[in-house]
Structure 1
């Protein structure tokens, strides 16, 4: 009987403590001017790299644990950083055209975290809904968080978002064949 009364008293004490001190969810706004998104696309004859600007972003925490996030990318800022002059201007224009991201009709892309699972002290497996050109598909990736910094690397299959230019087309010249997946390397400052 004494053990039952003691157990009930401890449950009541800890239960009341949890209600009195709930874990506060915190939303940390991403500093878009200090953060970076680098893309790398591959073709049979090589690759191209560039950047794209974040328009807005937040990470959500429950205490110190990452629980959510949402980001909007300004597609009109997509640009190549491995080229100069006319070649750069031509590629930048083509990436913004309807052949690729159609930025006139789709000026932003969006990522919303739908599931976050802790895999270590600073590491999380994340699943999110990525919307490009009005098409939403799930993506999975790893996010690492260190204080006010976070990093992630995503592989994106562009064909799922109706970005199919140069994708395995029979008769396409070898140096024009573009791989379906491209990489995004994201460094966030909060």
Structure 2
């Protein structure tokens, strides 16, 4: 009987592990910063509608997770022959919002305050982050967007899958959900990449990101 119980526990544990791996978003390919694309003079500029655009985020730790949004401050795409030729975007780091805790709960303000503090994104010192497109290509049936992400004055080039559509003078870009490893941008709090005595008090390095952007000519 004891052996049967142990076997059942092992099977359940393996099942949980398998499902966890299956559901985890893929990390964006990350490498050193690259030179931005050279945009042709004949390109058309599409300006980002910040009210209709958003970045969703999700962070994880052993005891649970948090999710929310962050806004774009400004941005634009350069289009050549109806294809994205370049672009750059500024993220307002002061706009971080948490959505899983009621807004009037003091724990919400405490969490957001902590994310904005020097422990995490230090928004007083680094009020914005930027993303500058360095390339776009079709790969294995998907459109892959590459760009230099600068956060806390650290720059890495990331590549992730997107969907692009155009209707009249409006351009819509949405990403698949992907992850970035915050340790590569020196976001250290609770990270096993920097501290080895955290036990189960660590916070995952991976942050899930989903981008939705609308821009008009």
Report the Cα distance in structure 1 between the residues aligned to 2:68 and 2:86, rounded to whole angstroms: 27
Q: Which blocks of at least 5 consecutive residues in structure 2 are unaligned?
A: 1-39
The structure 2 residue matched to 1:130, chosen from 126, 142, 149, is 149
Superposed CA offset, 1:59-84 (max 9, x none): 22111112222110000111211112
1:118 aligned partner? 138
Q: Would you say 1:149 and 2:145 are equivalent positions? A: no
The structure 2 residue matched to 1:163, chosen from 177, 187, 192, is 187
CA 1:106–1:23: 2 relative to 1, 3 Å: closer
1:80 aligned partner? 98
Q: Which blocks of at least 5 consecutive residues in structure 1 are unaligned?
A: 1-21
* TM-score with structure 2 setting the length: 0.72
Superposed CA offset, 1:19-58 (max 9, x none): xxx9941121110011111111111222110111100111
CA 1:173–1:93: 2 relative to 1, 3 Å: farther
Superposed CA offset, 1:99-132 (max 9, x none): 00000000000000112113499x5212211000
* TM-score with structure 1 setting the length: 0.81
Greater relative contact order, per chain length (Cα 8 Å cut-off, separation 6+)? 2
Higher Rg of the two aligned structures: 1
Question: What is the deviation of 1:170?
Answer: 3.2
Provide the alpha-carbon RMSD of the alignment: 2.0
